Amino acid sequence: MKELRLANVPDCRFHYQVTEPTVEKLHRFDLYMGGILQADTLIPADDKNRYLVSSIMEEAIASSQLEGAATTREVAKDMLRKKRKPRNQSERMIYNNYQTIQFILTHKSENLTPEMLCQIQERMTLNTLANPEHAGRFRLNDEVRVEDFTTGEVVHIPPPQKHLTALMEWYCAFANEEPMNPKASAARGFVHPIVRASILHFLLGYIHPFADGNGRTARAVFYWYLLRKGYWLLEYMSISRIIHQSAAQYAKAYLFTEYDSNDLTYFINYQVKTLDLAFTSLQQYIERKVAEKKQLRDFRHLVGLNMRQVSMVQELVGEPQADWTIQEVQDRFDVTYQTARTDLMKLADLGLLESRRVGKAKLAYVRAAGFDELVAKLR
């Protein structure tokens, strides 16, 4: 049993153990998420950018929905793909989350500091807080309470604000694996990166350093730490989507830890299980996409389409109301303006798409009137 004492703050003492089923999963993660096994084959090279963009969108949407964002995945993805400005607070939460994840990807090699934590929270909560002054700074009082959103019952009272400076310095030192005062932490020696990331996730929620945005910031830190430690595959996974599907268990993992004398084992086990489900979900997603590409090979060769064009047609088969713009093709497939324009015009010339004006200058391509009949013939 390992112990953690946080900056000698009263009642901030935790313990945990790594169970055998968790050790087995951690070994699997080390092989496939951070190691070299299947590094070149799990995700096809020509699809990596598209999968990455899609996973970042999924994570931004699900993480925001966990905090109350009320919009559909379809509407949210359309906003992000087309770089449309958010129309309401829910869309703003998702947009902020998406931008913050990209910020984390570019800063994953940097040490975590209290200032960086405040930057992450500020980006997450921009223009979404009832009190804008709460963005980008730690809470200034002890008025924050964590409530059960269904019953309104207070389920957690964070440590006093007077201890925040010491707690956040300890937190960043733990995240950066810096030497700490032996009296402040009895957890010496090796801590598996995924276990440490899970503890970081939990502790930010427990300390609750911000008036709002703690959950989104905690999940962002989880990503930051594991990407920093070389778990590259995490970029293609949406942890929050799995958490959103098991929101009750997520809340219970927090509560059980606190109710059982601050035993972090509950939360670590939950987080590792969630990561395992997200990894399995990614594998299944890739298998489906590879199967779809195989089914479309004959179609591709018959009419001389490239794989980008095949992907666009495939999406329009499943989503008849979808549309494509040159900018979206550029972003989704990481190509130049001219390449994106040529792709769309070829599909229009074949009679699969037709253009329409959106606003004064924007041109969008939608399914042509005879789309279904033409696809059936070309197949």
| Residue 80 sits in the same domain as residue 206 | yes
Q: How confident is residue 159, by pLDDT bands cut at 50, 70 and 90?
A: very high
325: in domain: yes
Query: What is the C-alpha separation between 345 and 308, in angstroms, rounded?
Result: 13
| Residue 78 sits in the same domain as residue 190 | yes
- Domain's final residue, options 255, 287, 319: 287
Which domain CATH number covers 321? 1.10.10.10
147: in domain: yes
| Residue 367 sits in the same domain as residue 326 | yes
Domain count across the chain = 2
292: in domain: no
249: in domain: yes
| Residue 217 sits in the same domain as residue 336 | no
Scored b (16 or more CB within 10 A) or e, 118-154 reads bbbbbbbbbebbeeeebbbebbeeeebebeeeeeeee
| Residue 242 sits in the same domain as residue 309 | no
Please give the mean pLDDT across all residues of the chain: 85
| Residue 270 sits in the same domain as residue 309 | no
| Residue 355 sits in the same domain as residue 254 | no
| Residue 233 sits in the same domain as residue 111 | yes
Average pLDDT over residues 56-69: 82
| Residue 227 sits in the same domain as residue 316 | no
Average pLDDT over residues 56-62: 82
293: in domain: no
Q: Looking at the predicted structure, is the pLDDT value of residue 209 above 70?
A: yes
Scored b (16 or more CB within 10 A) or e, 63-88 reads bbbbbebebeeeebbbbbbbeeebee
Strands (E), 221-361: 324-325, 353-358
Average pLDDT over residues 284-299: 69
pLDDT given for residue 51 in this prediction? 63
| Residue 97 sits in the same domain as residue 152 | yes
Full residue range of the structural domain in which residue 350 is found = 298-378
42: in domain: yes
Which domain CATH number covers 282? 1.10.3290.10
pLDDT given for residue 244 in this prediction? 80
| Residue 14 sits in the same domain as residue 99 | yes
